[in-house]
Structure 1
Amino acid sequence: MKKLLFALCLLFAVSFAHAQTAEEVYSKYLDFNLARMQQETDKALDLGEDILPNADKLTAGARNNFYYSVGNLYENNSQSVKAIECYEKVVAAVPDYYVAQRGLGYLYAKQADALKATGGANYIAAVRKALPHLEKAQACDPDDDTLKMIQYFYKAINDKNGLTTLNDRLKSLKKNCIDLLDDK
Structure 2
Amino acid sequence: MHKPLVLILFMLITATISKAQSADEVYDRYLDFNLARLQGEEDKATDLAEQLMKDTLKLAPKVRVNFYNSAAKLYEDGSQSVKAIELYERVVAAQPQYYVAHRALGYLYLKNIPDADKPLDKPSTNQDYIKTVKKSLPQLEKAQACDADENTLTLIKTLYKNIGDSAALASLDNRLKTLQKGCIDILSD
Counterpart among 162, 180, 185 of residue 156 in structure 1 = 162
TM-score (norm 2): 0.83
RMSD (CA atoms): 2.2
> What is the CA distance between 1:119 and its match in structure 2?
5.1
Aligned residue identity for 1:71: A
Instruction: Say if 1:75 and 1:83, in contact at 8 Å, map to a contact too.
Output: yes
Task: After TM superposition, give the deviation of residue 114 of structure 1 in Å.
Answer: 7.8
Corresponding residue for 1:23?
24
More helix by share: 1
The one-letter amino acid of 2:167's match is N
Provide Cα deviations, 1:89-117, integer angstroms capped at 9, x if missing partner. Answer: 00000000000001101001213448999
After the TM superposition, which parts of structure 1 deviate over 2 Å for at least 4 consecutive aligned residues? 111-119
Q: How many residues align?
A: 166
Taking the aligned partners of 1:54 and 1:119, their CA distance within structure 2 comes to: 44
Checking the alignment, whether the CA contact within 8 Å between 2:97 and 2:182 is kept in structure 1 is yes
Q: Is contact 2:125-2:163 (8 Å) kept?
A: no
Counterpart code for 1:70: A
Distance in 1 between the 2:40 and 2:187 partners? Answer: 20
TM-score (norm 1): 0.85
Separation in 1, partners of 2:164, 2:39 = 46
Can you list the C-alpha shifts for 1:1-22, whole angstroms capped at 9, x where unaligned?
A: xxxxxxxxxxxxxxxxx99921
Q: How far apart in 1 are the matches of 2:66 and 2:114? A: 29
Distance in 2 between residues matched to 1:174 and 1:22, nearest whole Å = 37
The match for 2:138 is 132
Residue matched to 2:88: 87
- Name the SS of the counterpart of 1:106 in structure 2: helix
Identity %: 55
The answer for the alignment partner of 1:51 in structure 2 is 52
- Check conservation: 2:110, 2:136, Cα contact below 8 A: yes
Q: 1:119 to 1:49 in 2, by over 3 A?
A: farther
What residue ranges of structure 1 are gaps of 5+ in the alignment?
Answer: 1-17
